[in-house]
Amino acid sequence: KFECELCDRSFSEKWALNNHMKLHSGEKPYKCAWLSCHYAFLNLSAMKDHYRTHTGEKSYLCDLCGFAGGTRHALTKHRRQHTGERPFKCKLCSFASTTQSHLSRHKRVHTGEKPYRCPWCDYRSNCAENIRKHILHTGKHEGVKMYNCPKCIHATNSPMEFRNHLKESHPDIENPDLAYLHAVLLFNADGGHPDTKRQHSKIARPAIAATHSGHGDR
């Protein structure tokens, strides 16, 4: 086995370890060629998968149902619904999950970590979904909307409506899906308490995409 000297990961192949080390170094040599997209990736295949999110191509087909995915990762996650595979296991209890993100969220039950906080009060949680419920259903922040357009006064609580608004009303935004992503990330850890929701919505600009890794659960 080839073991990483910086964390507890190990690999059966040297090339896999070399790719993993790029996570620690921050090296992302493969940049998306789509105009105004700032994402970069550790490897070429991940970049190609990402590029299909711009084109809408869904070439990864499930052989057990009619599902079509835009990336190998999406198909792999989907197939676990058929197989029941849960490869991401907690070392502290019997919990197992289909995705790394779900395992990371579960681990916070053990650590007590609450990295998500409401931008309008001191409420904190171990998952973003609880922040959404807190804002929308407790009545403590009447009139506040979850998603605020960075280019106009449009605001909504529906993620699908927000995406559609960006695509239909602001075609000059080259990557509305990334603008949507950054609106979601407003509720991440240690976010400031904005004076107004319009100030808060400034984060929803695609240009900030360069600060994100561009790879998801594996």
Model confidence over 69-110: pLDDT tens digits? 888 888 888 999 899 999 889 999 999 998 888 898 899 999
SS3 151: coil
Residue 144 placed within a domain: yes
The number of folded domains in the chain is 2
**91 lies in a domain?**
no
Considering the domain architecture, whether residues 73 and 27 belong to the same structural domain is answered as yes
For 177, other C-beta atoms within 10 Å of its C-beta total: 15
Q: Within this chain, do residues 125 and 199 fall inside the same structural domain, yes or no? A: yes
Q: How many CA atoms lie less than 13 Å away from 177 in the CB half-sphere?
A: 11
Rounded Cα distance between 58 and 51, Å, is 11
* Domain stops at, among 85, 104, 133: 85
Q: Identify the CATH number of the domain in which residue 27 sits.
A: 3.30.160.60
Q: Are residues 69 and 9 in the same domain?
A: yes
List, in sequence order, every residue forming a beta bridge with 2; answer none if it has no partner: 11
User: What is the pTM for the complete model shown?
Assistant: 0.53
Q: Is residue 158 part of a domain?
A: yes
Q: Residue 97: beta bridge partners?
A: 88
Residues 64, 121, single domain; the answer is no
Rounded to whole angstroms, the Cα distance separating 120 from 153 reads 19
Residue 93 lies in a domain: no
Domain end (from 70, 85, 100):
85
Whether residues 126 and 167 fall in one domain: yes
What the block records as the tokens of 149 is 């357009």
In angstroms, rounded to a whole number, what is the distance separating the alpha carbons of residues 127 and 172? 33
The one-character DSSP state at 17 is H
Average pLDDT estimate for 36-55: 81
180 vs 153: which has the higher pLDDT: 153
Tell me the CB-side half-sphere exposure of residue 104, using CA atoms within 13 A: 10
pLDDT the model gives residue 216: 41
Residue 140 and residue 60 share a domain: no
In a domain, 150, yes or no: yes
Q: What is the pLDDT of residue 175?
A: 56
Say if CB 146 and CB 156 are below 8 A apart: yes
Q: Domain residues for 125? A: 116-211
Hey, how many other C-beta atoms are within 10 angstroms of the C-beta on 1? 7
Q: Is residue 205 part of a domain?
A: yes
Identify whether 35 is part of a domain.
yes
Do 67 and 126 share a domain, yes or no?
Answer: no
Domain co-membership, 121 together with 206: yes
What pairing do the DSSP bridges indicate for beta strands 147-148 and 124-125?
Answer: unpaired
Q: Tell whether 39 and 122 lie within a shared domain.
A: no
Q: 57-92 burial string, b = 16+ CB within 10 Å, else e? A: eeebeeeeeebebbbebbbbbbbeeeeeeeebeeee
Both 134 and 193 in a single domain? yes
For 109-166, how does the pLDDT look when each residue is reduced to its tens digit (9 = 90+)?
999 999 888 878 889 998 878 888 888 888 888 888 877 787 888 888 887 788 788 7
Q: Provide the pLDDT for residue 24.
A: 83
Kindly state whether residues 60 and 123 are assigned to the same domain: no
Confidence of residue 6 (pLDDT cuts 50, 70, 90): confident
Distances (CA, A) of 122 to 55, 127, 148, 151: 40, 15, 21, 28
Distance, CA of 166 to CA of 45 (rounded, Å)? 28
pLDDT, residue 196, reads 34
Residue listed under structure tokens 């559609």: 164
| 81 and 120 fall within a common domain | no
Residue 94 is assigned to a structural domain of this protein: no
